[in-house]
């Protein structure tokens, strides 16, 4: 690993200043993704500012019925918090679907938002990758692209976002709170991660030096009825081929409201708004769910090895909605 200078931050403003002032400085929290990338020579920071001990780990109820999760809360702590388990079961399930017990104990919520793709060509500096080295080309487009995107990709990059947590946060309309050199701002979840376009090197709309301080979950009473379904090659400790976060408000056999987000299919957690439109007001049955699934994948485009993902995603959507909807009472 390339040498770097380390400093431990004791307050957020100082951490923001230290990273802002140096182009190749980075924050480190749990380190579970960053250190891996540094060992591989993909990330080469000159300075690491340790934010793990900043007092940003609290999980609290918000006045209007929502919940605030501090960015330094560990994935396992957030998963097990009563406010999260009771109000947003889909989020607890998403946390628990990701990584391993050890990694969930280390990884922070803020760091999970900053996870980089697990595209093997991104991870290997000997391969062409526009995300790692802009302009070098994409080895995945013509390569072994079984795990790659079917929605929202570009000629430059067909990588997918690896997080489970983020798929649930997309469905729940979370808001990311950040602190930068110019003050604080809030970023709606849909605007946090980016599609690759011509700038796949930028995963998010966070500016250099901006620190994630918390994630706010708005009140969503019907989120009690929600489900996270992850389909993967192994039963545990594997990234999603396809995943679905489904939140459904059903009464009298009809869908009153719905939130659907997909993982493993795009460069960012994919909010399936076309599916939500079809669901809202329709009968809560498998026929409706299938129509919604067709709509969600209507713009999908497969590459050589990942055609299967399109039908897999549709079936996963139907199953996740059926589970979340329960008996439809």
Partner 1 sequence: MNENERQTISVNLKINSVNHALQIEPRVSLLDALREFAGLTGTKKGCNQGACGACTVLVDGTRINSCFALAVQYEGRDITTIEGLAEDGELHALQSAFIEHDGFQCGYCTPGQICSAVGMFKEFQRGLPSAVSETMTGEIEFSDEEIKERMSGNLCRCGAYVGITEAIHEAFDAEVKR
Q: How far is the CB of 244 from partner 1 (least distance, A)?
A: 15
Terminal CA-CA length for the chain:
57
**Of the candidates 123, 194, 117, the residue with the CA atom closest to the CA atom of residue 159:** 117
Stretch that binds partner 1, among 27-35, 114-122, 250-258, 278-286 (CB under 8 A): 27-35
In angstroms, the CA 329 to CA 250 distance is 7
Q: How far is the CB of 224 from partner 1 (least distance, A)?
A: 10
Total length of the chain: 329
63 belongs to the binding site for partner 1 (CB under 8 A): no
- At 121, phi and psi to the nearest 5? -75, -30
Among 36, 124, 257, 274, binds partner 1 (CB under 8 A): 36
Residue 288 as a binder of partner 1 (CB under 8 A): the answer is no
Question: According to the binding rule CB under 8 A, does residue 124 interact with partner 1?
Answer: no
SS3 breakdown of the chain: % helix, strand, coil, rounded to 5? 30, 20, 50
Q: Which is nearer to partner 1, 105 or 199 (CB)?
A: 105
With contacts defined by CB under 8 A, name the span among 82-90, 169-177, 197-205, 259-267 that binds partner 1: 82-90
In the three-class reduction of DSSP (H, G, I as helix; E, B as strand; rest coil), residue 318 is classed as helix
Instruction: Establish if 229 lies at the interface with partner 1 (CB under 8 A).
Output: no
DSSP string, 5-42: EEEE-SSHHHHHHHHHT-TTEEEESS-TTHHHHHHTTS
Contact set with partner 1 (CB under 8 A): 1-6, 8, 28, 30-32, 35-36, 38-39, 46, 48, 50, 52, 76, 79-80, 85-86, 89, 92-93, 96-97, 99-103, 105-106, 230, 235-237
């Amino acid at each position: 690993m390339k040498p770097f200078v380390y400093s431990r931050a004791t307050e957020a403003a100082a951490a923001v200043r230290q990273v802002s002032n140096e182009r190749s400085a980075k924050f480190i929290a749990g380190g579970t993704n960053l250190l891996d990338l540094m060992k591989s020579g993909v990330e080469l920071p000159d300075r690491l500012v340790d934010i793990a001990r900043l007092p940003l780990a609290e999980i609290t109820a918000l006045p209007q019925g929502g919940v605030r999760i501090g960015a330094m809360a560990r994935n396992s702590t957030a998963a097990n918090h009563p406010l999260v388990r009771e109000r947003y079961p889909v989020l607890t399930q998403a946390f628990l679907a990701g990584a391993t017990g050890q990694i969930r104990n280390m990884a922070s919520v803020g760091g999970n938002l900053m996870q980089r793709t697990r595209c093997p060509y991104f991870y290997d500096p000997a391969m062409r990758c526009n995300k790692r080295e802009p302009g070098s080309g994409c080895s995945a487009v013509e390569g072994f692209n079984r795990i790659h995107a079917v929605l929202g990709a570009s000629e430059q990059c067909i990588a997918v976002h690896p997080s489970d947590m983020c798929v649930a946060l997309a469905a729940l309309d979370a808001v990311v709170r950040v602190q930068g050199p110019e003050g604080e701002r809030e970023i709606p979840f849909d605007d946090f991660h980016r599609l690759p376009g011509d700038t796949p090197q930028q995963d998010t709309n966070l500016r250099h030096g901006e620190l994630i301080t918390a994630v706010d979950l708005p009140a969503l009473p019907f989120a009690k009825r929600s489900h996270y379904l992850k389909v993967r090659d192994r039963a545990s400790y594997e990234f999603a081929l396809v995943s679905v976060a489904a939140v459904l408000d059903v009464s009298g056999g009809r869908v009153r409201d719905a939130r659907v987000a997909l993982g493993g299919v795009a460069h960012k957690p994919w909010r399936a708004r076309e599916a939500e439109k079809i669901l809202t007001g329709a009968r809560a049955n498998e026929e409706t769910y299938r129509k919604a699934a067709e709509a969600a994948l209507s713009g999908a485009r497969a590459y050589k090895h990942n055609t299967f993902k399109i039908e897999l995603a549709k079936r996963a959507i139907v199953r996740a909605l059926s589970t979340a909807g329960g008996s439809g009472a």
